[in-house]
Structure formats: structure tokens, C-alpha cells
Structure 1
Amino acid sequence: MDLSVIKGLKFEPINHCYTFKDTILYALGLGYGSNPVDPAELEFVYEENLKAVPSLCVVLAHPGFWAKDPKYGIDWVKILHAEQDFEIHKPLPKEGTVRGEYEIEAVVDKGADKAAMLYQLKKLYDAEDDLVATVRSVLFMRGDGGCGSFGAAPAMPGAIEATTPDQVVEIATLPQQALIYRLSGDFNPIHADPAPAKKAGFDRPILHGLCSMGIATRALLQTYAPGNPDKLKSMFVRFSKPVFPGETIVTEFFQNGNEVRFRCRSKERDIVVLDRGHAVFHA
């Protein structure tokens, strides 16, 4: 990775006009509608009284796979999504026009034989120029250790100490889940093409980290905000292991008032795939 280029990187604002169809497609990519007669699922995938899943903010005004451009010197095949968080400042409408403004907050060099962490910040504004959401992505650059550091990495939630969950929710994914989810904007080929997936170290395409996060959002809304997705104020996850399409994601919740810690496991492999989860709900 060419740190001098990354430090000077300026993203042009991205204007994104989306319709109710995009909102529905995003929800379908998270598996909503698996029970087509359940009103709690239909409200996210049927245009009558449609509601937006709060985590939609992570794909709106998406910058595309910019790290693939050779001018950045990034070993893009080895990139993994490490962490993601968002804070909702204004409820997301089911359709409208938004503007995404991006910046690279920091790069943390873990060492030449390890990796580098890249922190990317997005501020999402609506047509009235109100801040709708603040979204942060952290990339684990496995092939770019030794590049140097700059900026200050923000603090993230610590490890979950509790062992016995208050609530547990299971959500099955489809074998074609990644092929649906990618239509919301993330076209990294490791989620669709077996050849790049194998080159990246996986025996088959993996599910997008943001799709796994969206499924955790489903579990949060189902448990703590049924019928009222606007109650979710903020959310953070660390992507500890990849999920393979077709697996069942088991989410374990640990509640403390309006705050909920959580982690997600692959039921089939019995490993934690999302960790250090943290969500805050409006009272």
C-alpha cells in the first residue's frame, strides 16, 4: 500500500438516489421474507407500509471497491472486513436521495509480517442536508503490513465478559445469499467467484461481512424493537471469522438497559463469526 497516496486521498461526494425497490432488495439480501406470511418480515420487503432496515445506511452511497485500483498499491485480494459501526441520527426513509462524504481517518501498521488496519469514515446526509448517519468501516489489509501508520484510530468496544446470554436468535442463510446481497453494491468477487475466493484463502465464496452484520441487525430488531426499527440508535460489530452462504447464524444477546452486547456463531461450525457486538436503543 502506498501510504503517501492513501494519506492524500480525497473522495468526491457520492450522491445516491434510491427507491423502495432498493430498500426491498437490501432486506431480501438479509433473508427477510423467508416467512412470506409473517407481518414482521413483510414490513421490510413489501411496499405497503414499507420500513427501512437501519443497517441500510452502510450500503447507501457506497464508494465501490476503490481499493482495487492499482494506483493505491493495495494487495486487494487479501483485504478482509474487520469492523463496522454506524450511528443513526435521523430515521432512514424508505426511498430518497442521500449524499455520502468519505475520508480515511487512519492507517495502523501492525508490522511487515502481519497486516495493516485502514479506518474509513462516511457521513451520510439527506436532501435537506441533515446528517442521517455516521458510518465507519475498518479494513484488515493482510498483504499491506509494513506500510507505515497515520492518524488516530477510534476506540472500539471491548471483549464480552458475560457467558450466559439473555436471549438467543437463530437465522438461516441461503446458499445464494451472497449473490443476492451483492446487488446492493458490494461486488468484491470473493463473494461470488470461486477462483478469487480460493486465491484469498477460502475454499468457496464467503458471505459479505456487512450481510452478516445485517442479519445480526435483523435479530436485534426482532428481539428488542419489533415493529419499530427506528429504536435502534447505533451498532458495532467485529468480523472475527467469515460466514459461508447456507450457514445458520446464532446471535447471543446480553442486555444492560438500553445497551445490548452480542456475538454471533456459525451453528454448523460452532465458531464465533461476529464478536464484540454492541447496540444502543432509544428508550
Structure 2
Amino acid sequence: MPIDVEKLLSYPIPEVRQSLTRQQTAFYALSVGVGCEPLDERQLRFVDYRRDLQALPSMALVLGHPGFWLGDPQSGVDPKSVVHGEQAITLHADLPVEGDVIGKTEIVGLVDKGEGQGALLYTRKHIHAVDDGRLLASTLSTTFLRGGGGFGGDNTPQGRAHVTPDTAPDFSIDLPTRPEQALYYRMNGDDNPLHADPAVAKAAGFTQPILHGLCTFGVVCHALIRTLGRYDPTSLRSMALRFSSPVLPGETLRSEIWRDGSFRARVVERDALVVSNGLATFA
């Protein structure tokens, strides 16, 4: 069934004020697999909150996060139809490891793919520091709403996907995920049952709960920081990608990276492309 456009566009997405702690910053990094090599001092800087802690840039995705608001019946959307399509972040300042932040999320576009087809929902979040109001980061999400088209809206998608080079990648980095990783990641504020409840996952057409797309984003961000940023998180200025297919918790992600910041990722065990059209920029 088509989405209820009036409900969706008028839905009051909550503004979220978050008191970020050093433990939460460390937990986020752990939830996307940083620390998988516990003897690597470079990784410990992101997960040992008693040290000179650093924030992984992809943490911008969970700061001031409004939660799975599309799961509310008042959103006008069938929650089982929701699939994360694309994600981008832009860093305007170094992310804090503690302190108060505010996340403001708004709908910035809705595309009708046609009757019986899907719809594309674009949402943007701005994250500000409470103490001085400075803009820390912006995120842009594209959500595919399966079967939600046919409401008579604009049918022109926003933006254009980055095309990765047709040459062999310059770097290839394998990073593991854990069987219980989705259960950890959802504690960052994304409690969509698709990532925890086998019955909900089966009803959505999956064999088991799948890893959050934003968790996959964090794993790939780690690979980029490791490869092109030399573990300096302040060097990353932006990162954008398209989710091609889901990752199952416990699978290994191979990030294939070019020197110009282009990247993609695949699951090693199935040789399945899961992230495409990626581009990261560094200072």
C-alpha cells in the first residue's frame, strides 16, 4: 500500500538532547568492531575511556539519534517496508568524546517510484554542541520504503551516486563482525526489531536478524581511518555510500579502497557486494 504522505510529512520527529559520556563514546567504537585487535594501541585510543579518548567519526550517526521513529504507526509507514538505501556524513568539527549535544532531524525529500513500487525518503540531521551552538556534523539518509509508491509525488531521485574506479583497489582490509554485534549496536539507539527478533526478520523476508546498515557504515569507516587516515579520526571530512545488500552478524567485511577515497565493501564468506559507490574525503 502507498504510504500516508500527509502523516509522514507532518510527523514530529523528536529533537534529541544527549548527554554524551566517555563510556558511550567507547561503547560506540566497540559496537562497530574497533578493538578487535586488543594489542593494537591505535585501536585502544577509541575504546579505552580512561585514556586520551578519541571519537570515531561515524559516531555522528548515533549522536542525537531520534530512534526508529518510522516504526510509529503515526508515521504513515509500514515498518516492515523500511530499508536503508544510502548514508552520508559530513564532519564540520572534531566530534567530542563527552558533553551535551542536540540532534535535529528533518525530512528533506520524498520520491515516488510508482504504483506498486517503492518510495525514497530523504532525512537530514544536524548535530550541534549545546555549550556554544557550533555545528559538529550533518548526516543525510536515504530510506527505501518498499511498496510505498503510487501517491503521485515527484519521481526524480536526489543526487548522483559516486562511480568507483574501474581499476583494482589500492588497499583491501578485512574486519570481522560478531554473531551478537547487532544486539550491541542497537543499544546506540536504533532498536528496530529487524536486527534482533527472528520472527520480525522472517516476516521482512530475511532468514535471520541482519546487521544495522549504520553498523556496517561504522566498520567501513574504521577501515578507511585505518588505511587512509592513519588512525587520525580528525582527518576524515566526509563519507558517503550506498547499501547494496545486508550483512549477517558474524560475517567478515572486506573494504576495498582506492587512494582517491573511493571504496566498496563485500562479505568475504559469500563474496557478496554489500556497500557500493563509496567516497570519503580527508583533510
TM tier, smaller: over 0.9
Measure, in 1, the Cα distance between the counterparts of 2:155 and 2:109.
4
The reply to whether residue 232 of structure 1 matches residue 236 of structure 2 is yes
- How does the TM-score come out when normalised to structure 1? 0.95
Deviations 1:14-48 (A, max 9, x none): 11111011111111111111121110110110010
Question: What residue is the counterpart of 1:142 in the other structure?
Answer: 146
Summarize the Cα distance change of 1:224–1:112 in structure 2 as closer, same or farther, 3 Å threshold.
Answer: same
**Which runs of at least 4 in structure 1 moved beyond 4 Å after TM superposition?**
150-153
Cα distance between partner residues in 1 of 2:155 and 2:124 = 12
SS in 1 for 2:216: helix
Separation of aligned partners in 2, 1:152 and 1:52: 36
Deviation, structure 1 residue 153: 5.1
Give how far 1:150 is off.
Answer: 5.3
Q: 2:120 matched to which residue of 1?
A: 117
**Normalized against structure 2, the TM-score is what?**
0.95
2:46 is matched with which residue? 44
In structure 2, the partner of 1:276 is 277
Structure 1 distance, partners of 2:151, 2:86, is 20
Deviation at residue 151 of structure 1 after TM alignment: 10
Written as runs of structure 1 = structure 2, the 5 A alignment for 1:4-15 is 4-15=6-17
Contact 1:108 1:148 in 2 (8 A): no
Mapping of residues 145-224 of structure 1, within 5 Å: 145-149=149-153, 154-224=158-228
Q: Distance in 1 between matches of 2:8 and 2:236?
A: 33
Provide the C-alpha distance between the structure 2 equivalents of 1:275 and 1:28, rounded to a whole number of angstroms: 24
Q: Could you tell me which amino acid in structure 1 is paired with residue 229 of structure 2?
A: A
Paired letter, 1:22: Q
What secondary structure, in the 3-state scheme, does the structure 2 residue paired with 1:195 have?
A: helix
CA distance in 2, matches of 1:190, 1:174: 17
What is the rounded CA distance, in whole Å, between the counterparts of 2:150 and 2:79 in structure 1? 16
Whole-Å Cα distance in 2 between the matches of residues 26 and 278 of structure 1? Answer: 22
User: Match of 1:25, as an amino acid?
Assistant: F
Equivalent residue, structure 2, for 1:54: 57
Aligned pair count reads: 279
3-state SS of 1:220 partner: helix
For structure 1, the 5+ residue unaligned runs are none
Distance across 2 between alignment mates of 1:272 and 1:156: 19
State the SS of the aligned residue for 1:99. strand
Distance in 2 of aligned mates of 1:34 and 1:201: 31
Q: Secondary structure at the match of 1:217?
A: helix
Task: Determine the C-alpha separation between the residues in 2 that align with 1:245 and 1:84.
Answer: 20
Does the 8 Å contact 2:114/2:155 carry over to 1? no
- How far is 1:152 from its partner? 7.5
The 1-side partners of 2:153 and 2:22 are apart by 41
In 1: Cα distance, 2:165 partner to 2:44 partner: 36
Letter matched to residue 280 of structure 1? T
Distance 2:193 2:233 in 1: 31
Gaps of 5+ in 2: none
Q: Is the 8 A contact 2:162 2:278 kept in 1?
A: no
Q: Secondary structure of the residue that 2:46 maps to in structure 1?
A: coil
